[in-house]
Amino acid sequence: MLNMKLIHRETGEEVRMIGRLDNNSAADAEKILVDLVGRCDHLTLDMEQLEYISSAGLRALKRAHLAMRRKGGVLAAKNVGKMVMEVFEITGFAGMLKIV
Amino acid sequence: MKSLLVPADAGYLEQVTEFVDAQLEAYDCPALTQLHIELAIEEIFLNIANYAYRPKNGEAEIRCEVLREPLRVVIQFLDGGSPFDPLAQKDADTSPEALEAREGGLGILLVKRTMDDVSYAYENGKNILTILKTFQDEPAREE
């Protein structure tokens, strides 16, 4: 179960991700993120309340990241929690995504 | 050892996770350890669901047992699909260039790095993947 809340900030769009980015939620999350990427140049994902991510979730993040890079924008992640950061470090995503 | 037999289909992932969580419940499993275990279950079960019997269908059996001193859980995944040793594959390249260029291989890498032991056997026509995770005490939560 994943909830995504869009927040407009002066510095750009922000999405608060709450719950689990897993095989169940990844396809919907990817659709929402890629759609958002099409409409802004700076998107920050607030992961403070993202408690879990799997390789299916990583795939969704990567596709959003690549879509953003193609248009020259920045996709960033902030407040990354312990489990999610471990997964980012093991898989190399910590070196690919902009983590603030 | 408790056992669960389900169709090897992604739709049964939740049932598999709940089966294991039910075994852990009585042992006060630390939250982060439980997330690691759930991650390993998702990666392994989806691999079986997506590839083991392709293009046919089949079943997967999950066995689970909690052992003491130290507290640890052993989970086995059995399928009757094509022989496949996920541990024999080279670890995925996790450089940014490689990550951007291709997909796949990250699931088993996550299992290997988050579990304390992972082993594979092919016996009586079945792939048997066994994972072991010791319950880890977590430092006091920072406020």
Query: ipTM greater than 0.90, yes or no?
Result: yes
Task: From residue B72, give the alpha-carbon distance in Å to each of B34, B40, B79, B115, B136.
Answer: 11, 15, 23, 11, 9
pLDDT digits (tens, 9 = 90+) for B79-138: 999 999 999 999 999 998 899 888 889 999 999 999 999 999 999 999 999 999 999 876
The architecture (CATH level 2) of A2-99 comes to: 2-Layer Sandwich (3.30)
Measured between beta carbons, which residues in chain A are less than 8 angstroms from residue B39? 52, 54, 83, 87
Whether B91 has its CB under 8 Å from any CB of chain A: the answer is: no
Which residues of A fall within a CB distance of 8 Å from B114? 86, 90
In this structure, how many other beta carbons lie within 10 angstroms of the beta carbon of residue A59?
18
Q: Output the pLDDT for position B136.
A: 84
pLDDT single digits (tens) B57-81: 999 999 999 999 999 999 999 999 9
- Looking at the complex, does the CB of residue B115 fall below 8 Å from at least one CB of chain A? no
CB contact under 8 A, A52 and B43: no
CATH of domain B2-134: 3.30.565.10
Between CA A8 and CA A14 the distance in angstroms is 6
Residue B142 has pLDDT above 70, yes or no: no
Are A54 and B43 in contact (CB < 8 Å)?
Answer: yes
Give residue B141's pLDDT.
52
The domains of chain A are located at 2-99
Q: How confident is the model at residue B139 (pLDDT cuts 50, 70, 90)?
A: low
For the residues of A62-95, what is the DSSP string, one character each? HHHHHHHHHTT-EEEEES--HHHHHHHHHHTHHH
pLDDT for A1 equals 87
- Mark the ranges of chain A whose per-residue pLDDT is less than 50: none
Instruction: Give the global pTM.
Output: 0.94
Report chain A residues whose CB lies below 8 A from the CB of B14: 24
Give residue B143's pLDDT.
45
In this prediction, residue B138 carries a pLDDT of 66
For residue A87, the one-letter residue type is V
Please tell me the distance in Å from B66's CA to the nearest CA on chain A: 22
What single DSSP character describes residue B125? T
Q: What are the distances in angstroms from CA B115 to CA B52, B133, B136, B138?
A: 22, 5, 11, 16
Residue numbers in A near B107 (CB within 8 A): 54-55
